Structure 1
Amino acid sequence: MTTIGVEEEYLLFDPVTGLPVAQAEKVRRATDLEGGASDRGGEVQPELLQAQVEVATPVCGTLAEVDTHLRRLRQAVGVAAEAHGCRLMACATPPLREDTPMPVTDRTRYLAMRAQAPQLVAEQLINGMHVHVAVPDREAGVQVLNRIRVWLPTLTAMGVNSPLWDGRDTGFASWRTVIFGRWPVTGVPPHFQDAADYDRRMGQLLNAGLIADTGQLYWQARLSERYPTVEVRCLDVQLRVDDAVALAGVTRALVETALAETAAGAPAPRPAPELLQAAIWHAARHGLSDALIDPGGTRRPAGDVLHHCLLRHLAPALDASGDAPLVTGWVHRLLREGTGADRQRTAFTGGGPAAALDLITTESNTH
Structure 2
Amino acid sequence: MRTFGIEEEFFLVHPETRLPVVPGRRVHNELLAVAGGGNSVHPEFMACQVESSTPVCTRREEALEAVTSTRRELSAVARGAGLYLVGLGAPPQIAMGAGAVHANDRYYAINEFCGAITAEHYLSGAHVHVGIEDLDSGIEAMNSLRPWLPLLTALGANSPFWRGVDSSFASWRSVQYRRWSIQGIPPYFADAQDYLRRMEFMLASDVVLDSGHICWGARLSTSYPTLEIRVADAQVSASDTVLLALVMRALVSAGIHSPRPVPNPAPEALDLAHWQAAKFGIRGNHYDLFTGTKCSMDRSLDALLRYIGTELAATGDSDYVGAGLERIMREGNGAVAQRRHFRAGGFDAVLAEADARLLD
TM-score tier by shorter-chain length is: over 0.9
Q: 1:295 is matched with which residue: 289, 294, 314?
A: 289
TM-score (norm 2): 0.96
Distance 2:29 2:197 in 1: 39
Going from structure 1 to structure 2, the CA distance change for 1:229 and 1:162 (only over 3 Å counts) comes to same
The whole-number CA distance in structure 1 between the counterparts of 2:312 and 2:289 is 19
Pairing partner for 1:278 from 268, 272, 276: 272
Partner AA of 1:303 in structure 2: D
- After the TM superposition, which residues 64-103 of structure 1 pair with which residues of structure 2 at under 5 Å, given as runs? 64-103=61-100
Root mean square deviation, CA, Å: 1.6
> How do 1:253-332 residues align onto structure 2 when only pairs under 5 Å count?
253-261=250-258, 264=259, 266-296=260-290, 297-307=292-302, 309-332=303-326
Aligned partners of 2:180, 2:25: CA distance in 1, in Å?
26
* 1:351 has 2:345 as partner: yes
Mapped partners of 1:101, 1:80: distance in 2: 26
- Contact kept, 8 Å, 1:24 with 1:53, in 2: the verdict is no
CA distance in 1: counterparts of 2:142 and 2:80, whole angstroms: 42
Residues 292-343 of structure 1, C-alpha deviations (whole Å, 9 max, x = no match): 2123132111111102x00011111011111000001111111111111000
Q: Secondary structure at the match of 2:103?
A: coil
Residue segments in structure 2 that go unaligned for 5+ positions in a row:
none
How far off is 1:83 after superposition? 2.8
CA distance in 1: counterparts of 2:192 and 2:320, whole angstroms: 34
Give deviations 1:167-216, integer Å, cap 9, x for gaps. 11110000000111110000000000112211211111111222000001
8 Å contact kept, 1:28–1:44 = no
Secondary structure of 2:357's match? helix
Contact 2:269–2:289 (CA under 8 A) maintained in structure 1 = no
Structure-1 separation of matches of 2:249 and 2:310: 12
Aligned counterpart, 2:332: 338
The alpha-carbon distance between structure 1 residues 169 and 129, as it changes in their structure 2 partners (threshold 3 A), is: same
SS at the partner of 1:124? coil
Alignment match, 2:115: 118
Q: Any conservation in 2 of the 1:14–1:86 contact (CA below 8 Å)?
A: yes
Code of the residue aligned with 2:54 in structure 1: it is: T
Confirm or deny: 8 A CA contact 1:154 1:294 kept in the other structure.
Answer: no
- Mark the CA change 1:25 to 1:303 in structure 2 (over 3 Å): closer, same or farther: farther
After TM superposition, list the pairs within 5 Å mapping 1:134-145 onto structure 2.
134-145=131-142
| Residue 282 of structure 1, CA deviation | 0.3
Q: 1:55 to 1:28 in 2, by over 3 A?
A: farther
Aligned to 1:38: none
Question: How much does 1:117 deviate?
Answer: 1.3
Question: Paired residue for 1:48?
Answer: 45
* Superposition TM-score, scaled by structure 1 size: 0.94
Aligned length: 357
> Partners of 2:25 and 2:87 in 1: how far apart?
17
Q: CA deviation at 1:362?
A: 1.6
Give 1:93 deviation, angstroms: 0.6
Letter matched to residue 33 of structure 1: V
Corresponding position: 1:207 with 2:204: yes
**Mapped partners of 1:359, 1:85: distance in 2:** 16
Say whether residues 1:361 and 2:355 are aligned partners: yes
Per-residue deviation, 1:82: 2.2
Provide the C-alpha distance between the structure 1 equivalents of 2:98 and 2:72, rounded to a whole number of angstroms. Answer: 28
